[in-house]
Amino acid sequence: MDFELSEELTMVRDMAREFAVAELAPRAAKHDRQGYIDPEVFTQLGELGLWGLTVPEEHGGAGLGNLALAVVLEELNHACASTGVTVSVHNSLLGAPLRRFGSEEQKRTWLPRLATGETIGCYCLTEPNAGSDAASLATTARLEGEEGVLDGTKIWVTNGGIAGLAIVYARTDSEASRAKGISAFLVPMDTPGVEIGKSERKTGIRGSSTTEVVLEGARIPADHLLGERDRGFMIAMDTLDGGRIGIASQAVGIGRACLDASVTYARDREQFGRPIGDFQAVQWKIADMATRLDAARLLTHRAAVVRDSGGRCSLEAAQAKLAASTTANFCADECLQIHGGAGYTDDFEVERLFRDARITEIYEGATDIQRIVISRSLLTA
């Protein structure tokens, strides 16, 4: 078993780290305040090939896998979680299902645009009454001749306000029970009848776009069906396995930023005539943060390797997300405590990290859902 990154992945990591340090870290607080990511960042991500990191080379991408994506996402999120989640959703929730389940024509049409960032992707699953219980979604799709007509409202759509292409999950068989009658569709965001609804004002990751997407008689060609009719829920769950690896990577990046900030502050801040890092109470916090982060990273990389091998990774992805998200929040809490009152102000990045970390236990399946996935995989084995 090799715990070291390959030479290629080390180069990719270093490239992402240099970009994050030089371009994202100086902008992170600004992104948080203004509520959007600077457009030039999107251009730079395209120039570095990070929009198309997992897109096959024949379609203009880098042709790398989930492990490479995990490594890159840790670096981006270490600097700016808003940028990190934008890239994660684009690659793992839109790009991945298109690669895995799309027709050759769909791939030829969309993957080159996704690879350059000309088109940004989003994922429309959650609804006002269908969150953790995604199978209860009410959005409908009906066939009229050679077109599908979609009606419904999706919420919490990351990238909703900036996306050019969405995967929309809709009920295509009203007679089927729950998950069995759901299909997935590729929906260009400029389709008549597709509107961007409310833009959410969030506690953290404020620079990322999170919106409603409202579909009212939105007509798309029948060949925009992704995969098989009435098999969309399977696509959604497979996609979320990859998405959970992405959010686990985000959580590790945020947690690592908390650890780095804690070490720096513990060295610089003096009380009682010496650096607070000399006190065992602070030392133990830093030791626990570092240990839990290493464990979370290893679980995340394992899940990515399993997914890259073509195997089912629901258990591994759930374990990675559970461990990483709880660790990120543990690290954020300990980091703020080490900083004391100063950490509760925006003089330091700690308060932003604290806010950004919280979402990692909620989206791509809440912590409680990860525990259900893990326990069921063991109890029904």
Structural contact between residues 59 and 110, judged by C-beta atoms closer than 8 angstroms = no
Tokens of 278: 């000399």
DSSP 6: P
DSSP 135: G
Residue type, 282: V
Structural contact between residues 293 and 262, judged by C-beta atoms closer than 8 angstroms = no
- CA 5 to chain CA centroid, Å, is 22
Q: What is the dihedral of CA 92, 47, 357, 9, to 10 degrees?
A: 70
Instruction: Give the pairing of strands 165-171 and 121-124.
Output: parallel
Q: At a CB cut-off of 8 Å and minimum separation 6, what does 23 contact?
A: 41, 44
Active-site annotation holds for 58: no
- In whole angstroms, how far apart are CA 86 and each of 50, 73, 121, 209, 250? 11, 10, 9, 8, 11
Backbone phi, psi, residue 313, to 5°: -125, 25
The active-site residue, picked from 74, 351, 361, 364, is 364
Report the DSSP beta bridge partners of residue 123.
167
DSSP 203: S
Report the DSSP beta bridge partners of residue 7.
none
Q: How far apart are CA 91 and CA 71, in angstroms?
A: 13
Among residues 56, 54, 45, which one has the least CA distance to residue 16? 45
Among residues 288, 261, 250, 252, which one has the least CA distance to residue 342? 261
Question: Between vectors from CA 303 to CA 301 and to CA 306, what angle results, nearest 5°?
Answer: 110
Tell me the catalytic residues: 364
